């Protein structure tokens, strides 16, 4: 009796083929997210320069404060947003290059966040009379965001180093860590948006007071900035979670840290 052995070849190329609709979704999400991530930084700069007189360092603590929103938006929103989005933008690069770029973008956020934090601390401590520290909900959300970001970065960085020295032996551990790293990464990004929105509201209330309710131009600019930040948050989490944009397991770049 002869046995017939059926060999099944999977055609990965066919599985990876995208329909017109998939490409449309991909292009729309990536282009829109890019506009929002860059637009939020542009509008923050416009707001601070146009309505708050630009920047200074310790010689003028009031203007030194202005570095805080700009650097926090640059680090936590623009750089971190692109760092997350990279996993969806780069569909054909090797996984290791995407991870390297992901690390570089997050590393670029570190000096922004450190200087942004220093700027707000100085603007409180060097003011005459000094302003109390960490009294507001905004500052608490901000501290949690910075703490989570630091934990995520250290953890991700060491996993990446482990990957470079012993890839095979650590594959199981790294794939078990992916869902945790991805969930906390997205949580940190959303918390950063919450910090920005509360910070913006606080600042505009400090400056405009009662006038905020009178549809002042600056109030509208700040509201639009907040709406852009929220839209960026929705779009980036959609890009990360959408099954279409995630692609198949072979192309997915997030199955191992």
Binding flag, residue 37, ligand HEM (CB under 6 A): no
CB of 230 to ligand HEM, least distance (A): 13
Binding flag, residue 49, ligand HEM (CB under 6 A): no
Binding flag, residue 189, ligand HEM (CB under 6 A): no
User: Residue 76 gets which letter from DSSP?
Assistant: I
Map the footprint of ligand HEM across residues 125-184, applying CB under 6 A: 133-134, 136, 138-139, 142-143, 145-146
State the binding string over 62-101 for ligand HEM (x if CB under 6 A, else -): ------xx--xx--x-------------------------
In the complex with ligand HEM, the residue whose CB is nearer, 26 or 149, is: 149
Size of the site for ligand HEM (CB under 6 A): 24
| DSSP class per residue in 147-207 | HHHHHHHHHHHHHHHHHHH-TTTTHHHHHHHHHHHHHHHHHHHHHHHHHHHHHHHHHHHHH
CA distances from 116 to 68, 81, 205, 218 (A): 4, 17, 21, 22
CA distances from 126 to 61, 130, 231 (A): 6, 6, 36
CB of 56 to ligand HEM, least distance (A): 16
Of residues 97, 95, 24, 82, the one with CA closest to residue 244: 24
Binding-site ranges for ligand HEM (CB under 6 A): 68-69, 72-73, 76, 120-121, 124, 133-134, 136, 138-139, 142-143, 145-146, 192, 195-196, 199-200, 202-203
């Amino acid at each position: 009796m002869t046995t017939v052995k059926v060999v099944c070849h999977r055609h990965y190329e066919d599985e990876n083929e995208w329909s017109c609709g998939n490409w449309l979704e991909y292009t729309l999400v990536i282009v829109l997210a890019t506009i929002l991530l860059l637009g939020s930084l542009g509008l923050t700069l416009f707001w601070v320069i146009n309505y708050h007189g630009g920047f200074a360092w310790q010689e003028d603590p009031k203007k030194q404060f202005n570095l805080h929103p700009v650097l926090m938006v640059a680090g936590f929103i623009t750089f971190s947003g692109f760092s997350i989005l990279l996993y969806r933008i780069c569909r054909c690069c090797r996984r290791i290059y995407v991870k390297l770029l992901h690390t570089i973008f997050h590393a670029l956020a570190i000096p922004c966040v450190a200087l942004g934090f220093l700027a707000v601390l100085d603007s409180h401590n060097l003011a005459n009379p000094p302003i109390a520290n960490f009294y507001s909900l905004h500052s608490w959300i901000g501290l949690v965001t910075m703490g989570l970001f630091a934990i995520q970065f250290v953890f991700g960085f060491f996993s990446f180093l482990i990957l470079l020295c012993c890839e095979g032996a650590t594959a199981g551990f790294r794939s078990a860590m992916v869902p945790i790293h991805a969930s906390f990464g997205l949580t940190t990004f959303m918390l950063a948006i919450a910090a920005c929105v509360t910070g913006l509201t606080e600042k505009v209330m400090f400056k405009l007071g009662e006038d905020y309710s009178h549809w002042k131009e600056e109030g509208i600019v700040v509201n639009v900035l907040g709406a852009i930040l929220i839209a960026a948050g929705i779009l980036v989490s959609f890009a990360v979670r959408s099954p279409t944009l995630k692609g198949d397991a072979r192309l997915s770049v997030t199955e191992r840290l």
